[in-house]
Amino acid sequence: MRAEAVVTASNGVGAGYVGGADHAARSQVLLAAWRARPNPTRYEPCPLLTLMMAEFLHLHQRLVVMPDDGCRSVVELIDTAREQLLLKQFKLQSEAIEQALQRAQARGVQVRVMLNPHTSGGDRWNDEAFARLQAAGIQTAWTSDAFPVTHEKSMVIDQQAALIATFNLADKYFTETRDYGIVSQNPAVVAQVIAGFEADWQRSFFAPELDVGLVWSSAHSRGQMARIIDAATSTLWIQHPKFVDAVILERIVCARDRGVKVRVLCGGKHGISDWDIYDTFSSLRIMQRFGVKVRRQQHLKLHAKLILVDGLYAQTGSMNIDRSAFDLRRELGIESDAPEVVERLKLVFEADWNKAKKYNTPDPLDPSMHEDGELPPDPHFVHE
C-alpha cells in the first residue's frame, strides 16, 4: 500500500478527522493508540496502526491555491470560528483579513494573534496591523525572540482545523503569487500546531514529535525534506524560489543520478536577495549539469514551496530551501498523500510548468546577465 509506505517513511500523519461524532470519536481513539505505540520516537509504527493511519490519510485535508482561491478562502475559514482562533503570521497586510479577525472578536471568539516583528533585513511590515488589532481589543503579541525571524504562516480554528500555508496574509499573495495552503482536521496535527503556538506565546521551549506529518524549524526540517526527496523513485517535482543549502542540493542531484526525472520550477532572480544569488544560481547550474530540467516561472510570482514525489505525496510549507530556514527561523510545513490534495497540486504544477520557459541560469559571478528576462524589481517581494 503506497500510503503505508509514506507513513512508514515519514512516521507521520498527513490528515485528520472529518466532521461528525463517529469520525471524531474514532479519530480520538486512533490518536490515543498512536501516541501509546511502542518506540514513539522511532520511524517504526506498528503495522496495524500504520494501516489505520493510511486509511485516514486521504480523507481529511483540503488544499488552498493562490491566487485561484483568493482572500475569500481565508476569510471564510476565519468566519467559521465560534470559540477560538490562533494566528501566527510572518506578514499581515490585508484589510479583509483584519476585518474578519475583528468580526470574530466581536462575536465572542477568543482571538490571539502573533506577528513577526521584522524581516531579516530589518523591515517592520507588521507595525500598523499590530497597532490596529490591539486597538480593536484583540490579544496581539510579537513572535518569540528565540528566533531571529518567525516565517511560519499558520492558523487554528476552534481547536478543530489548522491551516499551514506558504502564503502571507497580504493582498499581494492573494492576487499576484503562486502559493499553497493545506487545511488539516487531524486532531494530532491541530494539537501540535496549538502546542507550537502556545510555546511561542509563552516564550517556552517546544520540542515537537516528528510523527504527525508536520515539518518544524528549527527542529528537524532539513532531515524531513531530505527524507522525502530520498523517497522519490520515478519523478520529483520541485517548486521553490531559492536554493541555499548544500545538503538538499546533494539530495536532489542524487535523485537525478539514480534515474529520477527531476523538474524544478524557480522564479529566476526575482525576489532573491543579493546574498542568496550566488548559492541559488550555482545550485541551479549544478542541477542542470546533472540533467535536472529547470524552468523559470513568471506568469505568477513564485512564492510557493512545494515538493511532489512520484505524483503520490507532497511537502509544502513556509520554509525555503535555505540554511537559515532550517537552522535558525521558526518555520512550519506539512506533508500529504491525500489524493485530492496531491492531484490538484499536480495539475497546478503542470499548468505552471507549461507556462514557464527553460531557464539558462546565469553565471553568479557575472552580474551583467542577472537581469536578463527578469520581472521588474519589487522591494516588497523578497524571499526570506
pLDDT for the residue 38: 55
In the predicted structure, residue 23 carries a pLDDT above the cut 60: no
- Residue 183 pairs in a beta bridge with 62, 163
* 372 against 296, higher pLDDT: 296
At residue 4, the pLDDT reads 28
**323 lies in some domain:** yes
Q: How far apart are CA 333 and CA 211, in angstroms?
A: 13
Residue 248 maps to which CATH number? Answer: 3.30.870.10
Dist CA 171 CA 318 (whole Å): 17
Average pLDDT taken over every residue of the chain: 88
Q: Give how many domains the chain has, as a whole number.
A: 1
Q: Is the pLDDT of residue 373 over 50?
A: yes
Q: CA-CA distance, 45 to 265, in Å (whole number)?
A: 34
The model's pLDDT over 305-339, given as tens digits with 9 standing for 90+, comes to 999 999 999 999 999 999 999 999 999 999 999 99
Nearest-angstrom CA–CA distance, 33 and 28: 9
| Residue 227 belongs to a domain | yes
- Its pTM stands at 0.85
Q: How far apart are CA 3 and CA 8, in angstroms?
A: 9
Predicted pLDDT of residue 16 = 32
125 domain residue, yes or no = no
pLDDT for residue 181: 98
Percent of the chain with pLDDT over 90: 77
Q: Which of 2-11, 60-69, 185-194, 297-306 has the lowest mean pLDDT?
A: 2-11
pLDDT on residue 284: 98
What mean pLDDT is predicted for residues 7-16? 34
Single-letter amino acid code for the residue at 181: G
pLDDT over 90 (residue 35): no
Alpha carbon distances (Å) from 161 to 35, 185, 205, 218: 20, 4, 24, 23
- At 319 the pLDDT is 97
Q: Where in the sequence is the domain holding 298, given as residue range(s)?
A: 214-369
* Predicted pLDDT at 128: 97
- Give residue 2's pLDDT: 33
Q: Please say if the pLDDT value at position 198 is more than 90.
A: yes
pLDDT computed for residue 13 by the predictor? 34
Q: Does 193 map to a domain?
A: no
Measured CA to CA, the distance from residue 134 to residue 144 in angstroms comes to: 18
Residues of the chain above pLDDT 70, percent: 85
Higher pLDDT, 245 or 15: 245
Q: What average pLDDT does the segment 109-138 reach?
A: 95
**What's CA 173's distance to the chain center, in Å?**
14
Q: Averaging pLDDT over each range in 1-5, 20-24, 48-52, 237-241, which range is the top one?
A: 237-241
pLDDT, tens digit, for every residue of 253-285? 999 999 999 999 999 999 899 889 999 999 999
Residue 118 covered by a domain = no
- Among 18-27, 44-53, 56-65, 368-377, top mean pLDDT goes to 368-377
Q: Does residue 141 or residue 121 have the better pLDDT?
A: 141
Look at residue 378 and tell me if it is in a domain: no
Residues 143-167, mean pLDDT to the nearest whole number: 97
On whether residue 45 sits in a domain, the answer given is: no
Q: What is the dihedral of CA 288, 349, 193, 25, to 10 degrees?
A: -130
As a residue count, the chain comes to 384
Does residue 42 have a pLDDT over 60?
no
Question: What's the confidence (pLDDT) of residue 40?
Answer: 43
Please check the confidence at residue 196 and state whether its pLDDT lies above 60.
yes
Residue 282 located in a structural domain: yes
Q: Is the pLDDT of residue 8 over 80?
A: no
